[in-house]
Amino acid sequence: MELKEERILNFKKIKSADLTKEQEYNYNKTLYSEYQKFNSDSAIFYVKKNLKIADELKNKDLSDLANIQLVTLYSSSGKYRESEAILKSINKKTLSKTLLPTYYVAYREFFEHYAANSYDIKYIQQIRKYRDSLLMVLDPNTLNYQINKIQQGMSQQKIRTAEKQLLDLLKNTKEDNPQYAMITYLLGSIYERTHQLELRKKYYALSATADIKNANKDNASLQELALVFYEVGDVDMAYKLTQSAIEDALYCNVQFRTLLMSEVYSIINTVYLEREAKRKTELQLYLLCISLLSLFLIVAVIYVYKQMKKVSRIRGELYETSQKLAELNKDITETNNQLQERNSQLSESNHVKEEYIAHFFNLCSAYINKLENYRIILNKKATAKQFDEIYKMLKSTTLVDNELEELYKNFDIIFLNLYPTFVKDFNDLLIKEEQIVLKQGELLNTELRIFALIRLGITDSVKIAAFLRYSLSTIYNYRTRARNKAAVSRNDLEEMVMKIGLISLKV
C-alpha cells in the first residue's frame, strides 16, 4: 500500500495545467487504473473528469471508454441502477472494435456483482453469454483470452481440463503479473470443487498474497482462505482473515464484496466469540488456581524466612569459626611458601650439579681420548725416528689453543643452557649506552665469561684468571670496568649477578 500510494503521489505531482486535453485524459486514465482495484471512489472521480474532457473534445470513443469504466465502478460500489442505465445508453453497434472487449467485460462483471446480491440462474446465464461474446473479440494469444476460456470450461464442468490448463499457465506467469492472482484463485476454486483441502488452501493463499503485493483491495481470495481455516478449525486465523477482507472491501468501497463477507463474518464471528467466552471462563479458572498458589507461596515464603533467620544465626557462628581457621590457614600457607622456596632453591642447585657432573664426565672422557690419540701419534713418530716432527709438535701451541677455544665454546654452551637469559639479564644491570653487544657467532665474550664464573660461585680473581688464561690485573680491570657501567649500585652488581636465573615463586 505504501509503495502504491507513493507511486500515485509522485504521479500526481504532474500539473494538469501543463497538459493538453488529450494528455490530461490519458493522465486521468492512468490514475483510474491505479485506483480501480484500490479505491473505487477515487477511480470514479478521475473517470468523471475524463467524461467532461471527452465531451469538450467531442470524441465519442473517449466518451464510450469512460462510460464503460464507470459501469464497472458503479456496479462494484452497489450502484446497480446507475450502472445499468449507462450500459443501456451505450450503442454496441457504434462502438469501436477496440472497445468491444472492455464493453463485454463491463456487462459480465455487472451481472457478477448483481448475482452476489440477488442470486438467480438467469444472471449466471447472462455472465456466460457475455463471456462467450468476450471470447469472440479477444486475441486468442493473450493471457486474458486463455483465462476467460478456462472459466468457460469450468462453467461447463470441464474441471480436469481447466486444472491442467491453469497449471500450465501458472508455470509461465510471474508473480508480479496482475493475472497471477486470478490464475491461482481459479485453481483454488477447482480444488474446492474436488474437495482437496490442502491444495485449496495453498492456491487461495498464493492468490491472496499476490493481491496484497499488488495492493489489490477488490479481492476474493482472503474470504475463501478464511473459510478454509474455519473448516479446519483454526477460528483465530479465519477471524483475522475475515476482518482483513472486510477492511479491504470497505477501503475500496466494493459493496458486493462487503455483502458476501458479512454472511461469512457473522458465522465466523459467532464461533470466535463463543471461543473467546470459553477462554474467558478458562482464564477465570486459571486466575483462581493462581490465587490459591499465591496464597500457598506466601505461607511458604514466611516459613522460608523463619528458616533463613535460623540459617543466618548459624552462619554468623560459622563465620567466626572460619575467621579463626583462615588465620591458621594463613600461617600454614606462609610456612608452605617458605618450604616451596627452599625446595625450589634445592631443586635448582641439584639441577645445576647434575648438569655439570654430566658435562664434566663427557669433557674428561673427551680429553682422555685426545691425549691417548696424541700419545699414539707421538709413539708412531718416535718408532719411525721422526724426531724433528716430534719436536715441531711439542713446540707448537696450536693444540692447546684449539683445546682452549673448544673449552670456552663448551663452557658457553653449557652455561647458556643452564641460564638462557643470562646475557639479557646482565645487560639489564648495565646502563643502556654500555650494554654488551655480541659479535655474530659469539655466545659469550671475555667480560661475560668472567661474570658467568662469578654466577657459578667462582669469585676469586686468581681462579678466574687461571681459567681464562688472563693476567690477574686484566681480570681486575674487567670487574672494575663493569662496576663503573652498572645501572644499579656498583657495590651490588656482583651480588645481583649471583641472583640471575633464580626461580621466583608466586603464591
Q: Which residue has the higher pLDDT, 388 or 457?
A: 457
**What are the pLDDT digits (tens) for 136-171?**
999 999 999 999 999 999 989 999 999 999 999 999
Q: How far apart are CA 112 and CA 106, in angstroms?
A: 10
Q: pLDDT: is 227 or 270 the higher one? A: 227
Q: Could you tell me which of 431, 426, 435 has the C-alpha nearest to residue 454?
A: 426
CA angle 476, 482, 484 (to 5 degrees): 105
pLDDT tier, 196 (very low <50, low <70, confident <90, very high otherwise) = very high
Looking at the DSSP bridge assignments, the partners of residue 486 are 430
Q: Which residues contact 255 (CB under 8 A, 6 or more apart)?
A: 76, 77, 78, 249
Apex 249 CA angle, 259 and 268, nearest 5: 60
pLDDT band at 396 (very low <50, low <70, confident <90, very high): low
Instruction: Report which listed range, 59-63, 174-178, 228-232, 268-272, is most confident.
Output: 59-63
> Could you give the angle at the alpha carbon of 193 between the alpha carbons of 189 and 195, nearest 5°?
110
- C-alpha closest to that of 135 among 114, 156, 118, 121: 156
H/E element holding 290?
helix 255-383
Q: How many CB atoms lie within 10 A of CB 334?
A: 11
The label of the residue with cell 462502438 reads 95
Contacts of 210 (CB under 8 A, 6+ apart): 175, 180, 181, 184, 216, 221
Secondary structure string (H, E, C) spanning 298-321? HHHHHHHHHHHHHHHHHHHHHHHH
pLDDT tens digits for range 19-70: 899 999 999 999 999 888 888 899 999 999 999 999 999 999 999 999 999 9
CA–CA distance, 406 with 412 (Å, rounded to integer): 10
Give the pLDDT confidence of 108-143 residue by residue, as tens digits: 988 888 777 666 788 888 889 999 999 999 999 999
Q: Which of 119, 105, 27, 38 is nearest to 71 (CA)?
A: 105
- Closest to 256 in 3D by CA, of 125, 115, 131: 115
Three cell numbers written together for 391:
719436536
Strand, helix or coil for residue 182: helix
Give rounded-to-5 percent helix, strand, coil for the chain: 80, 0, 20
Q: Comparing 338-352, 369-383, 412-426, which segment has the lowest mean pLDDT?
A: 338-352
Lowest mean pLDDT among 78-82, 313-317, 353-357, 453-457: 353-357
**CA atoms of 447 and 436, how far apart (whole Å):** 9
Give CA–CA dist 172/142, Å, rounded. 13
Nine cell digits for residue 395? 713446540
SS3 per-residue string spanning 77-131: CCCHHHHHHHHHHCCHHHCCHHHHHHHHHHHHHHHHHHHHHCCCHHHHHHHHHHH
Q: Name which residue leads in pLDDT, 300 or 16.
A: 300
Question: pLDDT tier at 370 (50, 70, 90 boundaries)?
Answer: confident
Which of 475, 359, 504 shows the shortest CA–CA distance to 417?
Answer: 359
As a dihedral over the C-alpha atoms of residue 411, residue 413, residue 414, residue 415, rounded to 10 degrees, the angle is 80
Compute the mean pLDDT over every residue in the chain, rounded to the nearest whole number. 85
**Residue 51: all three cell numbers together:** 467524461
Q: Is the pLDDT of residue 505 over 50?
A: no
Nearest alpha carbon to residue 69 among 97, 30, 16:
30
Residues 6+ apart with CB under 8 A from 505: 337, 340, 341, 344
Distance between CA atoms of residues 21 and 56, nearest Å: 9
Could you read off the pLDDT of 403-417 as tens digits, one per residue?
A: 888 888 888 888 888
The pLDDT score that the predictor gives to residue 204 is 92
Rg of the chain over Cα atoms, rounded to whole angstroms, equals 54
The H or E element that residue 3 is part of is helix 2-12
Do residues 76 and 113 lie in contact, with contact meaning Cβ atoms separated by under 8 Å? yes
CA dist 64 → 52, 67, 100, 213, 241 (Å): 12, 5, 10, 32, 38
